[in-house]
Each structure stands twice: as structure tokens, then as C-alpha cells.
Amino acid sequence: MKKYLPVVIFVLGALILAGGFFFLRGNDDNPEQEEDEEAVAEIPFEQRPVVSLTPTEDGHYLIMRMNNLGLKAKTLDYEILYDTADGITQGVPGTAQLNGSEVERDILLGSESSGKFRYDEGVEKGTITLRFRDDKGKLVGKLTTEWHLQTNTDKLTSSDGKFTFSLSDESDAWFVTMNTFGAPDGLTGQPASGPYGVFSSSKSIMGTPEMPGSIRYYDGSRWNEVEGETSTGIFVAE
């Protein structure tokens, strides 16, 4: 028996090495599959939903709303990422069934356990990523953009620096400035800049939008040319 022991050890070693090779190869395939899944065609502008993040009065929640989706999809995977004052990146993922024309979710900027809440401090900038899937779970569209949370200021800015909204007076309300992906009905073609949305925890906040081009504002029912001050909302430039 001792005579065959080296052969047995050799065979076992070969089997272990072969198993390890195929295991690692299988693991290597997963990133490729994920990469292929992310390589999805761009969603045409007219099929993109209008998405907003509206802060609550205490600044602890963002109310995510999505409507006007023209893309044929069954489910939505969303992920909100943001950095805290300590430089820690936090994430809020979720899934929604697209049975209707609108999705609404409350996004807690913090955590909850057994009815006790902990709120993250110093949150200013983050991202929102949306992944749309068909009834078989295949990715059919993906959108991502940055958002900027501000308070106690008289000037709101988009994260890319291409849009500003100067308030008439400094306000202690909470504001989110972001690209809304799509635009409410009434536009012809994709705008030269935007759409940018300014969403406030308080109503009737007035200010002056600034970005290159002729600016238009959506008042909730139709688009208007901006002349001087206007209230917070969705803006494009042509």
C-alpha cells in the first residue's frame, strides 16, 4: 500500500488543482456577465422618466418620485448613495414593481432598528442609479445622476456646476438640485441643457435660474419662458 501512496497523493493533488482552476474560472465569468449586463443601450430622452428627490422639513428623508416612464419595463432597481460628514459612503437600495405610471419611496438618510432612528449628519452630495428590467429580469435600461442637498444658503448649485438657482433670500429650507433624466410633456426634442430640477422642503420659494441658453420653466401644467424670478421646479435651456 505504501508503494502506491505517492501515486494516490499525486492524483488527489491533481484533482484539487483542477477543481480550483474551474472554480476560479467560474468566478471570473461572473464579472464578465455583470459587465455585459451593464452594457445596455442608452434610453432615448423621450422614454426617460421624470425623477425627483424632495427633502422633508427636517432634512432626514428624501422623497423619491418617478413618473412619465416611456420605457417598457417590469421592475425598477434603485440605489441612492451618499457620503456622510465622516466620509463614509452609505447606500439605500430597493426594488419597485412598475405596475402604474408613478413610483414613490421615502429614502431615509440614516438607519432604523427596532423603531429607533439614527440620522446621518453632513449629507450634501450623492448619486441615484435606476436599473429597469423586463419580465425576465433582463436589464433594459440604466440611468444615473448626481444630486446636491443644501440648506441655509441663498444659492443652489447642481453637482456638475452647470446650473444655479439664486434664491431671493437666504433660506433654512432644504433643497435638492439634480438632473431629472426626463422632462414633463410639452418639450420638442432633447434640450441643449438640463432638465435640472430644484426640489424644496418648503413651497413658494422664489429665485433666479442661471444656465447657458434660453431658459424655460415647467409650472406644473406647461412650459414657460423664464423672465426674472420664478419658483423652484424643473428647468431646461434651448
**Per-residue pLDDT of the chain in tens (238 residues, 90 and over written 9):** 444 444 444 444 444 444 443 343 444 444 444 445 567 878 999 999 999 999 999 999 999 999 999 999 999 999 999 999 999 999 999 999 998 779 999 999 999 999 899 999 999 999 999 999 999 999 999 999 999 999 999 999 999 999 999 999 999 999 999 999 999 999 988 999 999 999 999 987 999 999 999 999 998 889 999 988 999 999 999 8
Alpha-carbon span 179 to 186, nearest angstrom: 18
Superfamily of domain 45-237: Immunoglobulins (2.60.40.10)
Q: What is the DSSP string of 50-115?
A: EEEEEE-TTSSEEEEEEE---S--SEEEEEEEEE-TTS-EEEEEEEEE--SSEEEEEEESEEEETT
- The whole-model pTM stands at 0.83
